[in-house]
Structure formats: C-alpha cells, structure tokens
Structure 1
C-alpha cells in the first residue's frame, strides 16, 4: 500500500496536469473564436490546392458556407473572376514555390449571389511547419476602396478632357491674333499680353496633360511609341526650344554621349522638359541651368543641374510621390500640383531606367535620368 503522502502527491500532479490541459483548451477555444470572427477570410490549403481549413468569414463576405469550400481544390474549382484567374494562379504558385516568402496580389472573387468583389490577397507557405503543414492565405475585401479609386480616376479623366477642348481653342485664337497684330505692325503692349497669355495656356496644358498621365499610369493605360534616335541632338533641340521660352535663365548644354536609344522620344522629352522647367522655377533669376548628356557603363546619363536653394534631405524621395509638394515658406506662390516628378519617374521606369536627385542646401540640385543604352 502506497504511503498517504505519495497518493496526495499523485493527486496533486494529476490536478496540475488537468488544470494545464484545461488552460490549453481554453486558449485554443479563445484563439478559434478570434480566427472565426476576424473580418478577413482565412484559407489554408495543401500543396496540391486542396482546402483543409476555411474561416467562417467567407460566409459573411462572400455568402459561401464553410462546408462548400473545405475539400475543394483552389486550382480546379476557384471562385475567381474569369479575367483574374491568371493573376490568382500566379499568386498561388508564387506562394507554393517560395517557402516563408510573403506573397501579395489583388484580384476579384465570386460571391454566391453571382456578383464579384475586389480582394487584397496575402499568402505564406508554411508547408514545412509541423503545426500548420499548409499554405495560409488571407483575403481582405477592398471593393469600396477600388470603386472610390475608379470614380476618382474617371472624374479626373472627364475633367481633363472637358478642359482640353476650350484650351485648344484659346491657343489657336491667341496665335491667330498674334499673327494679325504682327501683320498690322501693332503696338508692342498688346503683342506682349498675347505672349504672356500664350505661355499661360501652355502651362495649363501641361498641368492637364499631367493629370491625364497620372490617370493613365494608375490604370496601366500609358501609351508608348518607341523609335531609334540619337540622344545628343535630341536633347540639344529641346534645350534650344526651352531657351526660346525662358528669358531670365541661360540654359547651357553639353552633349558627349554619342549614344543611340530605342525609346519613346515624346515621353522622354516630357521628362526632360519637366526637369528643366522645375530648375527654372526654383532658381533665382540670372542663374544658369546646366543640361548635360554623357555615357557611362553602357548607360546614358542626362543631368539637369540648377543653382537654387536645393532640396532638404527629408524631401528628396518624397518629391517623386503623387501630389507631394515641398513647402517653401519663402515662396509659397509657386504653381504646380506635385505630379510632374511622379509622372517623370514612371516614364523613366518604363524605359528600364532610374530618375534620381542629388542636392545640397544652398548649392542647388542635380536630377539624373539614367537609361540603359540597349533600352
């Protein structure tokens, strides 16, 4: 017969074990409640695509019962918009082939009522994890956000088109009036007013074009027409044109690349014009602007250097963001929407290049377009 103390010790150990099991069970139930009530859909599937866990949020967001999805194959029986199946397949295979990598994508899922919703998908491969042995994916409904973005872009597109027509007419009438006044040897003052008006129309046209380009970039609708051309004379001609429209700054050009590019001349011209116009805008009157073209390491480098106030380090990357403008307390009346550099960087990136900036306060800024010569 066991001593009384030993029996009490065994009872105490069993009680402790039972308490630990109950605590674990309580934590499991608590965790299960968290998962089942989370807003995002959670799906866990095997490497062959078989779904073995589906959170209850799929019913709240899409109308499908958990039982309707568990056991289904995510590849052969998807609930994905037909136009987005390729995007979903790429997302899933990327997760399967890259253990521990967090994979993201956006596509549309089918609701049980036949409608679709936009979702933001995130997945991680935990097949090697003994407690998971699956690929965990989460799906967040972003339909409202996408629809808001779509409405905003449609508004910008419509507004830009509506503004373009009258501005084109104004431009034409201004040029006709200038020619008529020149033919009749009119006084200088009216001609000067028309010249100012003409420049303002050009500025407004650039702003509207930038707005349209932002919309096109966001919708992946930007058009490019690549041709083969020599870089040095191309940039030189742009500088001559810009100098004609700038009476307060001297534009100094040096082209020594002797390189040829296969790229969209109009789009690259848009970038260079934007950089030079910014340099003029942020430089004191009388300061020169240097535009150089060189070839280094099989790349063409187009640099625009000004001798203005410079850009504080805090803002040097932010200036390439949409609608971002550096606040200048000394000169807050400068015009612009903060989208020119965003559009410029997107155009350069499409040509497999980089747009960067170097700047020192009080010494000016240098913007560099770096493009591969075999672009």
Structure 2
C-alpha cells in the first residue's frame, strides 16, 4: 500500500510539473501577466535608479514654454519671428545641439518663415515631424514634414511622439519606425549627433527613468528671450525646447510614480540614448528560462523526498525570480518579466500541497479505519458510515483520539493499582507516567514528580548497596539487571529497568520499577542472626556439655544419665549443623567451577564407608564416563552424601545401594549429567514422596529400622540442586526401595569418536 501510494504521488508530481510548465510557457509567449510585470518593473525601477546623478551633472537643459512664458509673451501660437528670436538667443550660448519640439508643418508669412530658417541655420537644431498622416484611400500614409526653410536649415528631422502602455504609463520608446527604418525619433537623432554615432535600433527600449519630476535644469523661454539667462549656462548643453504650459502640453504618468510632461520624458529618453543606458527587454528564451527554472526548482524541493519546508521552498524560489530580475536590471540593463514565473510558482505551490493533502487524507482514512476495526480494551462508538470525504476522516480521527485518551486513562488506572512504584519514561528519560506508588515513594523522600522530572535526577536519590554509587541512566547494556539500592538507613529497593519498543522494534522509552525489599532485608538480618546463634551460641554450650561428660568421674554421673545427656547434646549439635548447612546452601554466593560428578560421588561414598561397612551394605557404581558440571564442589558432595547416607540409614543390613551415572541429550540440544542413587529400603507411599523435600520431613516410619534426624537433609539437597539450575526426582513404592535422581547441566561434549571434549 505504501509503495502504491508513493507511485501515485510521484505520478501526480509529474503531471503538476508538466501542466504548470506548459501554462507558464503560454503565459510567457502571449504576455498574459503584463500587468504584474509592469507593476514589478515600476517598483524595481524606483528602487534601482533612485540614487542617480544630480541634475547639475547632466548635459541636458530644458527650455520650457511654461505658464510664465505664456503670461509674459502672449497667447499661443506665437509668431515665427518670436521663435526665430528664441533660437537666436539659444544659439548665442553655443550649445551642442537644440531639439526644438514645436511643429512647423504649415506655411506662414514668407518673411517670417525665411527668418526662422536663417535662425535655425546658426546652430545644430532638430525639428519634429508627423510620421504617419493618413492620405487618400488607396495610397500609403505619408510623413508630414516641416516647411522647406526649416527642413533645409535643420540638422535633422524626426518624429517626437510618446506612446504610453495599455495602462497609460510611459515606459518605453522606439527610436526607428516606418518601413525600412525611414523615420527616426527626434531624440534618437539628437543623441546620435551628440554621441557621434547613429541610433538605428528599431526595437522598443525601456526608458531609464532615474527620478521624479524636476531632475533636469529648467529655464523659462520668456527668461531666455529677455536675456535673463547667461550664455555661459547654455554652452555645450543639449537644449530641449518644448511646451509645458497648462492646457498646451500633455502630461503622462511614469514608472517613477510621478506625472511628467512630454518634454521631461524626452529628456530621459535622450539621456538614455546618449549614454547607451536604455533598458533592453529580454528575448523569448531568457524569459522562458526565468519562468521554468524556478518552477522546477520548487517542484524538486517540494517533491516526494522533501528537503525544505514547503513555505520556505516557495519563498526561496520567489526570491530567486525577483533577485534575478533585479540583478539583470541593475547590472546589465536587461528586463526579465517575472510575472509568468511568479504565477507558475503561485499555481504549483498550492496545487501540489492540495494533492499531498488529498493523499495524506486518504492514507489517514485507511489507517484510521484499520485501527477502528482492531479490538479495543475500551468500548468505542461506531463512526457513522453515511459520512464521506473529509468529514468521515475527521470523525475517524476524533474516535482515534478518544480511544487514545481512554487507553491512557485505562493504563494510568492499572499502573496506579500496582503495588510497586513504576515510572514510564520517554527516550530522553522524561517522566511520561508515574503511578500512585511512585508519587508516594518520591513524596516520602521530599521530591515531587512534575512535568519536568527526569529519571537521571530522580535516580540520584538512590545509592547502590555496597558501593554507594549512583544508579546510572540510561542503563549500561541492552538488558540491564536489577540492582539493589538504599535510600535511607532502613529502606532498600530493587530497581529494574526495561526498554520500551514500538511495533516496528525501535526503542521509544523506558520503564523503571522500584520494589521495596526493606522487610526482606530485615528478615535476612534476622536469619543471619539466627544462623549466628546456631553456629556459635548454641553449639558452644553443647560442646561444653560433651566435654564435661568426657572429663567427669564415673562416680559423679551414672552411666545411664551420661548416655542420655550425650544423646541430647549430640542431637542438638546435629540439628544446629543441619540448620547451618541449609542456611549456607540457601544464601551462600556460590563459587562455581568445573567439577567431575563421578569424583564428587566417590568422595561422598568414601566419607560414608564406615556407616556402610557397619551395616554390611555394598555401594556399587555404574557408568564411569566423565561428567563435567559447573558447581560448588563441597555443597554438591554433601548433597550426594546426604542421599547416600539416607539410603544407608533406611536400608536393611546386607543390601546393596546402586549409583548410576549417565549422560543424556535433551530435545533442545543441551547435554545433562544424571546420577541415580537406588537403595533396597522400605520405600515410601505417594503422600510422603510428594513432600519429602520439605523441611522437617522424615523418611518412612514404621517400615524400616528406627533412625534419628531432624528432617533437614533432603531439604538441603533440593536447595543445592535447584540453585545449580538442576533437578532432583524421587521414585519409590512401599516395599520396593527408593531412587533419587540428580540431573545437572553438563559442560561435556563428545566428538564423533566418543572422545570427551570440555
């Protein structure tokens, strides 16, 4: 299912990437996003060229026919003699060139026309024309040129129209128009004359507006005619003459955010052409590259193997687009329209997010339905099967959350019922759940378990018994053993830690249990005191009694009383010795070594030879193969001796005791050593056989010879064998003898030839 879902998501990724790419290519080719491009261009232009050079460094000067000029010289239009006088004043300052943006396309007074032509011939001057005047039907449109005296005297004639974009903002200009470049822009001619080269590029260029209104030196035409402008101010300047008066000149919005007159716009155009600073619109291929490259970067970052957050990826790609546009505009005077690229990003980002959410919602619904069908410890309400889509998934999710809360509540209640203090931790050791016993334990030592409690801090309150070291967390090793700790003078605990794993087997946390063993430790101390009492305080008086009997004169104690006192003293010593041996077997830390079972059997038989000889009992051994086991030699030898001694004790005179040794391989492949001790005594019934290894249980009474003992020998045997991880069995029937079988894990293996390898 996971693989199928991954393939489905990958297919959708490819479909979204390809479809969005085709859409972006279409928008790039038909300029669908022109409004967005213009908006971004205007803001970038304002930010990029706001720090242009001050007006004083510009070689261009504006001579404006403004409102003050109209007021001083009279209403428009002026006589051509007035224009001739203005040109003469300007020529007297020896400017580099004059662009006189006033149309003279109609014949006037011949004398004034001739005078105007003579004035125009005194300086390099350029005049405008009308490039496309509609002629009669069937004829091609012809240019409307200035009158012949002016055309003959002018350094150049060109069109001076301004073409705003569809939104009314002036951003670009074309320097060559008409068939085969027959018409040239007036400012292109002036710029070519000033720079010494012809401007013939027919493609539209973006005007490099570098500021708002008033960035050029401006003088009034009336001031020039009145001689108020020093000729030195006009020297080597490129002078633009045009109308700026209200109602006389058109004004246009520009990308700078300000409204400019046509004369000011022509000044920016002239400056850009003269300096070669016109902004070039990028061609189709660079625009396609800008539109597609960020889109595929975004889709790669948002792909099935995500490397960055989705929003960060989108922001990074959008910044890449805008940064590329700004860098190209500032460094190379190249305009890369970003609208199509940003639109593609804006479409791909939510579309891919929507498809991811759809796949995630489907996956969640399937998993929640599977969880809903699993058995739960806490009854839950069935989700409505009538609901579909997101509402159904939300209902399933709400049911799963409720189920999780109920399970947590159920788990917390069960943990609170545990008698031992228990902590549930996350992988970092923070306490997730603490049962009531844990709260009570740590409250008693002055620590409160809250949301910030950690296992490492809580375990610092405990010290390991013996070493006094703190309990390490996390525990050392994969399967840490329980350790005994002490928190106060008389409070002892066993601390056990276990790792929590998820259903996939990954470790997700820890469980720590604190078992109070204070009472057990107190009982252990009492038992040690009792053993000390038996080993010293009770044995010493009995030994003294026997010493008195040995040294007392016969006339002071009668023989009969002496025998009775000796019997009771020896019985007390024997009972104390058996108690001590049993306590030693139960509590001694065994020092295990590899020992031979047959050797220990022979040692036990040798120790009991006087008793067997006294009753004429033969002890026969069968099976002499070496059987190696890991054990404590003295305890195992005594256990074998106890069983053989009981066999001698309960067997009639002249009988035989058989000791059989053998090796056996069990079904799990382990090798065990067996020693079976069989006597010919009176045997035991089933009830006695079931309880023969309990304390103070005696052998058969009434069926054999009368014997003495405390009934602790077989309890000692059972304890020793169990602590060696072995087994002991008893088989007996009344009148047919008894067989005790020892079985211990063997460390002996055999090769194919029967040779023993340890």
Task: Output one character per residue of 1:250-288: Cα deviation in whole Å (capped at 9) or x when no partner.
Answer: 4212246497999877645533442234335555x5573
CA contact (8 A) 1:300 1:370 kept: yes
Give the match for residue 482 of structure 2.
Answer: 105
Aligned counterparts, 1:34-183, within 5 A: 34-36=414-416, 38-45=418-425, 50-55=429-434, 56-63=436-443, 64-67=447-450, 70-73=453-456, 77=460, 79-81=462-464, 83=466, 92-93=475-476, 96-97=478-479, 105=482, 107-110=484-487, 114-115=488-489, 117-129=491-503, 133-175=508-550
Match of 1:309 among 674, 683, 691: 683
Distance 1:273 1:37, change over 3 A: closer
1:339 aligns with 2:716: no
Task: Output one character per residue of 1:110-132: Cα deviation in whole Å (capped at 9) or x when no partner.
Answer: 3xxx5462224455433234799
Aligned counterparts, 1:237-256, within 5 A: 237-243=606-612, 249-255=615-621
**CA shift for structure 1 position 334:** 7.5
**CA shift for structure 1 position 66:** 1.1
Q: Count residues in correspondence.
A: 340
**Aligned residues: CA RMSD:** 5.3
- Which runs of no fewer than 5 residues in structure 1 stay unpaired? 1-8, 98-102
CA contact (8 A) 1:356 1:369 kept: yes
Q: Aligned partners of 1:364 and 1:66: how far apart in 2?
A: 64
CA contact (8 A) 2:423 2:432 kept: yes
**CA shift for structure 1 position 238:** 2.3
Q: Aligned partners of 1:87 and 1:349: how far apart in 2?
A: 33
Q: Aligned partners of 2:727 and 2:405: how far apart in 1?
A: 57
Stretch of structure 1 that moved more, 153-162 or 223-232: 223-232
Q: Aligned partners of 1:252 and 1:339: how far apart in 2?
A: 25
CA contact (8 A) 2:642 2:714 kept: yes
Distance 1:125 1:328, change over 3 A: farther
**CA shift for structure 1 position 304:** 4.9
Distance 1:90 1:156, change over 3 A: farther
Give the match for residue 220 of structure 2.
Answer: none
Give the match for residue 638 of structure 2.
Answer: 270
Query: What SS does the aligned partner of 1:308 have?
Result: coil
**CA shift for structure 1 position 314:** 8.4
Give the match for residue 220 of structure 1.
Answer: 588
TM-score, normalised with respect to structure 2: 0.36
CA contact (8 A) 1:106 1:118 kept: no
Q: Aligned partners of 2:470 and 2:656: how far apart in 1?
A: 46
Give the match for residue 365 of structure 1.
Answer: 738
Task: Output one character per residue of 1:81-129: Cα deviation in whole Å (capped at 9) or x when no partner.
Answer: 25367897799556x34xxxxx87351243xxx5462224455433234
Q: Aligned partners of 2:496 and 2:689: how far apart in 1?
A: 31
1:205 aligns with 2:573: yes
1:290 aligns with 2:668: no
CA contact (8 A) 1:119 1:142 kept: yes
Distance 1:233 1:43, change over 3 A: closer
- Which runs of no fewer than 5 residues in structure 2 stay unpaired? 1-385, 665-671, 749-757
Q: Computing the radius of gyration over CA atoms, which structure comes out larger, 1 or 2?
A: 2
Q: Aligned partners of 2:631 and 2:409: how far apart in 1?
A: 61
Distance 1:169 1:50, change over 3 A: same
Task: Output one character per residue of 1:69-90: Cα deviation in whole Å (capped at 9) or x when no partner.
Answer: 8334389957332536789779
TM-score, normalised with respect to structure 1: 0.64
Give the match for residue 325 of structure 1.
Answer: 697
Query: What SS does the aligned partner of 1:133 have?
Result: strand
Query: What SS does the aligned partner of 2:466 have?
Result: helix
Q: Aligned partners of 1:136 and 1:259: how far apart in 2?
A: 46
